[in-house]
Amino acid sequence: MATDYYAVLGVRRDAGPDEIKKAFRRLARELHPDVNPDPKTQERFKEINAAYEVLSDPQKKQVYDLGGDPLSAAGGAGGAGGFGAGFGNFSDIMDAFFGQSSQRGPRSRTRRGQDAMIRLEVELDEAAFGTTKDIQVDTAVTCGTCNGEGAAPGTSAQTCDMCRGRGEVSQVTRSFLGQVMTSRPCPQCQGFGTVVPTPCPECAGDGRVRSRRTLTVKIPAGVDNGTRIQLAGEGEVGPGGGPAGDLYVEIREVPHPVFQRRGDDLHCTVTIPMTAAALGTKCPLETLDGLEEVDIRPGTQSGQSIPLHQRGVTHLRGGGRGDLIVHVEVVTPNKLDPDQEELLRRLAKLRGEERPTGQFAPGQQGLFSRLKDAFNGR
């Protein structure tokens, strides 16, 4: 045959239906007469439509691939380049310009509401062990006057007399391709198919009003900053009294004056004099579980950590708790009276530390030095 339909659409002979449709839509956007009125372009547009009419129909495509005349075999489907029986593919042309075809019919006035989110502050002990809290939320709720219908009491929605309940109106225009029918949402009912002559005075026809509610939220043990708790169906009620969205409660943990949280472990620092570090002592510490004594053993060094197991935050998933890590900081006095200085000198003499030589070790490398060593394989 004189015309190679595969070449017209720019696809391989083994191209599948999706690839053929994609190529046709791409060319239709480029060559449509409304976009490019050039006469040569119009002829090219007729060619791609004829090619797509054949290659998109399995029976016509089979006849064409076998060397026959698919248009004659189909009973004279309209001739090369005319829409004819292939005018059903006009939806593909509209899809090429406006995306996927919209669902026909009236739109529902009832839609799902939006999700909402509120931030809730909790103390460290509440996050560690869990609690319940009452929160107040301002959301849209179903209008009690019209029960979500949007119409004033004693009235109801009526079928739109412009679109007769279809939610859309059609318009027929003429072009060189023939009559083209286009549809658009009804301007009178906005596509709903019904109108509300007398809107509810309470909600102005929306079917919902704003209201403040009090909810009780259960905070599970182990929550942390950013944890979100989902309350299904407690969000915004949808237009027309539609189902409510979800409410998300985002946790914000208030900083503690003593403990710093790292995951499920807690950290704190205890400062002791050098004499207590040398001789040992016991320091009272108010933990999340109550008052406990931290055992400072004799000879404890500055920077040493003392773990208190199972005194941290409860694991959110799984049993058990984290640890409480006590970091020891030993303070050296910078002012001594004569008696204290004499005592320390006598202690240094007894320990043979009057003129200590000290022990030196390599200093900590900087970042660039460590990177250099890493690249050099050290």
Task: Give the mean model confidence (pLDDT) for residues 235-253.
Answer: 92
% the chain with pLDDT above 70? 80
Domains of the chain: 5-98 (1.10.287.110), 116-157+197-253 (2.60.260.20), 158-195 (no CATH), 260-350 (2.60.260.20)
State pLDDT tens for residues 273-296.
999 999 999 999 999 999 999 999
Higher local confidence (pLDDT), 38 or 10 = 10
Query: Identity (one letter) of the amino acid at 298?
Result: P
User: What pLDDT does residue 363 have?
Assistant: 62
Buried b (16+ CB within 10 A) or exposed e, 93-126: bbbbeeeeeeeeebbebeeebeebebeeebebeb
**Rounded distance between C-alpha atoms, residue 24 and residue 35, angstroms:** 15
Alpha-carbon separation of residue 362 from 236, 309, 356, 358, 365 (angstroms):
63, 34, 19, 13, 8
Per the annotation, binding residues for Zn(2+) are: 143, 146, 160, 163, 186, 189, 200, 203
**Rounded distance between C-alpha atoms, residue 89 and residue 253, angstroms:** 60
Per the annotation, binding residues are: 143, 146, 160, 163, 186, 189, 200, 203
Query: Length of the chain in residues, anyone?
Result: 378
> Within 13 A of 120's CA, how many CA atoms are on the CB side?
29
Q: Residue 146 — very low, low, confident or very high, per pLDDT cuts 50/70/90?
A: very high
> Within 13 A of 272's CA, how many CA atoms are on the CB side?
26
pTM: 0.62
